[in-house]
């Protein structure tokens, strides 16, 4: 079987199964997809696809359904996602442009994506804006306390008191000088790779406590939250799962699991990322697929959907990418 026909037959099986949830036979493919080959040829092609593990027979019948490997092959063959339809663009434009705050934009975006795809939509966002350090101030406030202040390039101030065993005024001034030389103009997470092995650092008793406070700032800045919409669509898809959807819903509610998965996803040149079934490496999600796209300039800015592996990948990847790009335009984060 030639590669073009292999893709054509597999694509036809995927499209028919996604639409009908029924195993697909050779006769149906001939009738619906203008394959321009005989029924015997299609049956032979299907046998070869089955040998490669791209389709399988769910029971003793002539019909076949895609496997996880088959879906992956199909997704990898998507060269250019479809553009959003004019109706979709108008709906998104009307909904998001009427928002009064970033929080409202996020809420409306995740609802819109869920409605457009009929899947569970998820939106990851940082609880606080990314902070670039403009200045660091250290202020002694007691025998064993130093106030640590970080001023961002936007004028935002973060402060917290560090408890130290001992310090001198000279220690505090030298530490401030070293911190500014290493961190000014960088984002807060640069403190996590700060090199403190030189003699100057080692001689400052209060340095570890102050750096610990700066690292806590960085953790706070990098924390993310997840917005979820459309779990009812997952419940409607119960026939697609061999078990109850309850563990999937629990994984969604346990935000740590989903956030870790989203952080592991990296979009490719097509503008989206896809994990199918066991690729998620999360047991409750092994019968689901997750599609995401980036809408922001920093980490933790993923927009996507989760649904059964029996998913319209061509349309869904296009919609996720399109909505993410529109959100980026509104937020001013378009590349």
Convert the pLDDT of each residue in 187-228 to its tens digit: 888 898 887 777 778 888 888 999 999 988 887 766 778 999
Q: Is the pLDDT at 102 greater than 90, yes or no?
A: no
Q: Is the pLDDT at 116 greater than 90, yes or no?
A: yes
Per-residue HEC secondary structure of the chain comes to CCHHHHHHHHHHHHHHHHHHCCCECHHHHHHHHCCCCCHHHHHHHHHHHHHCCCEECCCCCCCEEECHHHHHHHHHCCCCCCCCCHHHHHHHHHHHCCCCCHHHHHHHHHHHHHHHHCCEEEEEEECCCCCEEEEEEEEEEECCEEEEEEEECCCCEEEEEEECCCCCHHHHHHHHHHHHHHHCCCEHHHHHHCCCCCHHHHCCCCHHHHHHHHHHHHHHHHCEEEEEECHHHHHHCHHHCCCCCHHHHHHHHCHHHHHHHHHHCCCCCCCCEEEEHHHHCCHHHCCEEEEEEECCCCCCCEEEEEEECCCCHHHHHHHHHHHHHHHHHHHCCCC
- Bridge partners (DSSP) listed for residue 139: 147
Pick the CATH number of 3-76 from 2.30.30.220, 1.10.10.10, 3.40.50.300, 3.40.190.10: 1.10.10.10
Report pLDDT for 6.
80
Convert the pLDDT of each residue in 122-177 to its tens digit: 999 876 666 789 999 999 988 889 999 999 887 888 889 999 888 889 989 999 99
Report pLDDT for 4.
77
255-264 helix and 246-253 helix, angle to the nearest 10 degrees: 80
Report pLDDT for 299.
64
* Domains 3-76 and 133-222 are alike in CATH topology: no
34-48, 62-76, 228-242: lowest mean pLDDT where?
34-48
Could you give the CA distance from residue 55 to residue 58 in angstroms, rounded to a whole number?
A: 9
Which residue has better confidence, 319 or 94?
319
pLDDT confidence bin for 1, thresholds 50/70/90: low
Say if domain 133-222 classifies as CATH 2.60.40.10.
Answer: no
Domain ranges of the chain: 3-76, 86-127+224-331, 133-222
Instruction: Look up the CATH number of domain 86-127+224-331.
Output: 3.30.450.40
Model confidence, pTM:
0.74
Report pLDDT for 194.
84
Calculate the average pLDDT of the chain.
88
Could you give the CA distance from residue 282 to residue 263 in angstroms, rounded to a whole number?
A: 14
The average pLDDT across 50-68 equals 89
| Residue 114 structure tokens | 């869920």
Convert the pLDDT of each residue in 252-271 to its tens digit: 988 888 988 998 898 999 99
């Amino acid at each position: 079987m030639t590669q073009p026909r292999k893709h054509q037959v597999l694509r036809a099986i995927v499209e028919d199964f996604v639409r009908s949830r029924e195993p697909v036979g050779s006769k149906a493919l001939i009738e619906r997809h203008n394959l321009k080959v005989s029924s015997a040829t299609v049956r032979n092609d299907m046998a070869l696809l089955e040998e490669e593990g791209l389709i399988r027979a769910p029971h003793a019948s002539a019909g076949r359904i895609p496997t996880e490997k088959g879906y992956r092959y199909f997704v990898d063959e998507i060269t250019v996602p479809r553009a959003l339809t004019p109706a979709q663009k108008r709906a998104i434009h009307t909904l998001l442009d009427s928002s009064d705050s970033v929080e409202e934009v996020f809420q409306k975006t995740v609802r819109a994506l869920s409605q457009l795809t009929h899947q569970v939509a998820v939106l990851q966002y940082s609880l606080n804006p990314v902070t670039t350090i403009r200045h660091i101030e250290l202020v002694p406030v007691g025998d064993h306390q130093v106030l640590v202040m970080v001023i961002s390039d936007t004028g935002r101030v973060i402060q917290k008191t560090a408890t130290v065993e001992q310090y001198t005024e000279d220690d505090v001034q030298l530490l401030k000088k070293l911190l500014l030389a290493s961190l000014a103009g960088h984002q807060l997470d640069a403190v996590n790779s700060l090199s403190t092995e030189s003699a100057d650092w080692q001689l400052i008793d209060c340095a570890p406590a102050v750096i610990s406070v700066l690292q806590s700032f960085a953790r706070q800045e990098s924390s993310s939250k997840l917005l979820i919409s459309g779990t009812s669509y997952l419940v409607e898809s119960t026939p697609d799962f061999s078990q109850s959807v309850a563990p999937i819903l629990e994984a969604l509610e346990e935000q740590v699991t989903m956030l870790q998965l989203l952080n592991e996803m990296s979009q490719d040149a097509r503008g989206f990322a896809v994990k199918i079934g066991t690729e998620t490496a999360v047991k409750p999600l092994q019968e689901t697929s997750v599609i995401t796209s980036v809408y922001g300039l920093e980490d933790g800015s993923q927009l996507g959907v989760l649904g059964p592996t029996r998913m319209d990948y061509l349309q869904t990847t296009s919609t996720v990418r399109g909505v993410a790009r529109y959100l980026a335009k509104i937020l001013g984060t378009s590349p």
